[in-house]
Structure 1
């Protein structure tokens, strides 16, 4: 990006940026959810999501990482934006393949990346409108300009989005009419993800509480999302139009809009909600802290009157359960390279690795994947099934896994003192490991202790709250 363009970006994403303000509001989640459905209908994006993404098995982790990435892209500091854009481009460069129809997809496809930004802009405008707010012409132009600048930061230019707002709307309608499809990813989001979303970290130990709420909230969320989508899109994909749902959708958006305008600012910030749902997320739940405590107390009360679960699984896992909860990152029932790549991606994101260390981490995981293929892929189809893993996991050589563990220690030990201290552990595991680290005293973790624990977890021999938070 030229110096002039960089100066323009710094000005656009300054203190008065509409987009920076918007993405810090909790209601931004409505726009993102809606936009994700529109994105998934693009054949390139839909195929990449199904083949490589962890959004089904790990939606809360994906939400947290998206939030962090968005904040970096909109940071007033050009160096932060440039570093994050480079990280995203490296990530996307590793995602490519062939869809079930034999068509190639590539996460660096410029048209697809422009469509992601387009859906976010159109969904933001729709969110404002349905929430009872009206943006005038200059405000719309300004917001559109900021979204185009986001694409310029990531892509290097914004040429694949129309130059003006007047040209944008025909482009958007044409994409819906001519380019989008009823992909598997759309169906998964609407009918599986929203209905079966796993509990957020706060409620992970209270499955009965989460299941009871999700049974009602999941279908309602899916119906509201469908009702908010463009009518032409719903017709094209034959999405259901249930009686009364549009009224419900308008009521939900208006209620959230009123809450945003009337409640104190701290109550409606996205960081507060993320901290509420995920105590391990960096940040302060602020006014929601008391709500979180009450929710924990209520869940504890329900657990007292419900049968206690089998605690054996909290110490060790069967090979089959470990496969499902840890190894199968994409949730497709098989172990393939995208599952291990997702682990590397999550660790690289947590530690904000530079290109050299990131490449070393991916190489280590690739070596482990080759070992898994050699020893477990009995039928040679390029993937490992649960049955294949369960049958051979106990005798699996671990040279590749040791390489991953050793490299993970290196990139976590930022100050190269051959010890993982409390701050370095917290960077990798958020707050999930504070208690365990405290128990070890001020000395932290040596290389041998770190590697031993990682191998014990990744072989399914030992439960670890910290690694569960990171990978399962």
Structure 2
């Protein structure tokens, strides 16, 4: 059996560095318990009014949770990379991303994702949830280890903000700070409720399992409520009481059992529970040219047979379980207007199309291509011009957003000159070497798959006109099973 990497408690504070493979935080990446802890931390973040408002207005975690998970995991890997250049590049990217998020919540209170105190709270929840994870699973951190890990998180905040002054310097003062924020600032926000109840109960299948909705729904019906109960039970008691969160009988025992069980997976051979590999496999769409997709396709075929048998035994009538109604689709390989609006245009899942939805598309594209500031700004500007064109053509009631009915009434207006410009800017950003064509490596950077056989030309390159045509065909023609599905439509 191959030994697993050292746990966060193993390296001595004198030897471990703040960043890199021996940092206290790095050991969490391959710890299965971290999955439970990160959900808990996300709820505590969302319970902060500023974070909660930003999530509701800008985040894609409801409609595209698996994509959000993959991007978050990648970002955290970069932020704790041993190479300072990697950390600095990711810091700059995160700051540009957050600088674009500001507005007002449903109570008229302003929020700003660059607010230093709010960013400090996000870092605080990650540290505190890591400590709580070890405590709940019967392996509490030693004082010296905990202090060194806290220094790592303050270093994380300093990398983002230039200093860590918004977090107390000493560990003792941190606990007083944490308790004060929980008692005085956290609220029963919409975002926290969505994560605890709507997200767990209606979590869409990852791309790998999208073809077996019945089997996925059956498993989700059991796991969703349990995961919600475990998370609620792990939250600080003052917040549970003030938010009126219910507690199931035996939830504390269930929670501790879940953390203990997840902890046993640490003893499996290295790579078996590697989160990066698991996330990548779940993100594969069966039928793609990626070599790993052949295994995914075979697995999906087996799961479809199991799903069909389960459906015969326990028929489920929910639309989400049964899949799309064939009467609402326009034919093989196409989406209905309703499905296209919900799966592609409404990235934030609020039932309307507005600027945050298009900004989310730009953010995903820029993240995949790891764009520098000039190219990223150019892409955002192209999407902003498209949004202005859409508003002028489709927003008939002048409320600043586009409803599904307004979209359905003026579908041809979607593919105007501004959308063509978006496609051209995206092509230029993907064509890293400026050759005028997209080669196989550049194609993989954007689509995370090999050249699709339908797009491979005789010289193994993907030209501008073909690229722009395929992008417009996807956005205007609502085709499915294209390279753009995992990019903008998959969960």
Common fold: TM-score over 0.5: yes
Aligned to 1:453: 470
Q: For the Cα contact (< 8 Å) 1:280–1:430, is it kept in 2?
A: no
Distance 1:325 1:177, change over 3 A: same
Using the TM superposition, name which of 368-377 and 146-155 deviates more: 146-155
Cα separation, 2, equivalents of 1:467 and 1:285: 19
Cα separation, 1, equivalents of 2:412 and 2:298: 43
Instruction: Summarize deviations over 1:93-112 as a string: whole Å, max 9, x none.
Output: 00000111111100000011
Cα separation, 2, equivalents of 1:97 and 1:142: 36
Aligned to 2:360: 342
What pairs up with 1:364-443 in 2 under 5 angstroms? 364-396=382-414, 398-431=416-449, 434-436=451-453, 439-443=456-460
Equivalent pairs counted in the alignment come to: 457
Aligned to 2:7: none
Deviation of residue 427 (structure 1)? Answer: 0.4
Q: CA RMSD in A?
A: 2.3
Aligned to 2:349: 331
Aligned to 1:469: 486
Cα separation, 2, equivalents of 1:24 and 1:96: 34
Distance 1:438 1:363, change over 3 A: closer
Cα separation, 2, equivalents of 1:413 and 1:295: 34
Instruction: Summarize deviations over 1:352-377 as a string: whole Å, max 9, x none.
Output: 00000000000000000000000000
- 2:158 is aligned with 1:152: yes
- 2:196 is aligned with 1:190: yes
Q: For the Cα contact (< 8 Å) 1:110–1:155, is it kept in 2?
A: yes
Q: For the Cα contact (< 8 Å) 1:131–1:258, is it kept in 2?
A: no
Q: For the Cα contact (< 8 Å) 2:337–2:478, is it kept in 1?
A: no
Instruction: Summarize deviations over 1:420-441 as a string: whole Å, max 9, x none.
Output: 111111100112x533367544
| 4+ residue runs over 6 A deviation | none
Q: For the Cα contact (< 8 Å) 1:271–1:285, is it kept in 2?
A: no
Deviation of residue 461 (structure 1)? Answer: 3.9
Deviation of residue 271 (structure 1)? Answer: 1.6
Distance 1:128 1:401, change over 3 A: same
Q: For the Cα contact (< 8 Å) 1:316–1:461, is it kept in 2?
A: yes
- 2:318 is aligned with 1:318: no
Cα separation, 1, equivalents of 2:307 and 2:248: 36
Cα separation, 1, equivalents of 2:81 and 2:188: 35
Aligned to 1:3: none
Cα separation, 1, equivalents of 2:147 and 2:299: 42
- 2:161 is aligned with 1:164: no
What pairs up with 1:13-412 in 2 under 5 angstroms? 13-260=19-266, 262-279=267-284, 295-302=299-306, 305=309, 310=326, 314-396=332-414, 398-412=416-430
Distance 1:294 1:415, change over 3 A: closer
Q: 5+ residue gaps in structure 2?
A: 1-13, 313-321
Distance 1:294 1:317, change over 3 A: closer
Q: For the Cα contact (< 8 Å) 1:317–1:463, is it kept in 2?
A: yes
Deviation of residue 285 (structure 1)? Answer: 12
Normalising to structure 1: TM-score of the pair?
Answer: 0.92
Cα separation, 2, equivalents of 1:293 and 1:413: 30
Distance 1:115 1:391, change over 3 A: same
Distance 1:84 1:244, change over 3 A: same
- Which structure shows the higher helix fraction? 1
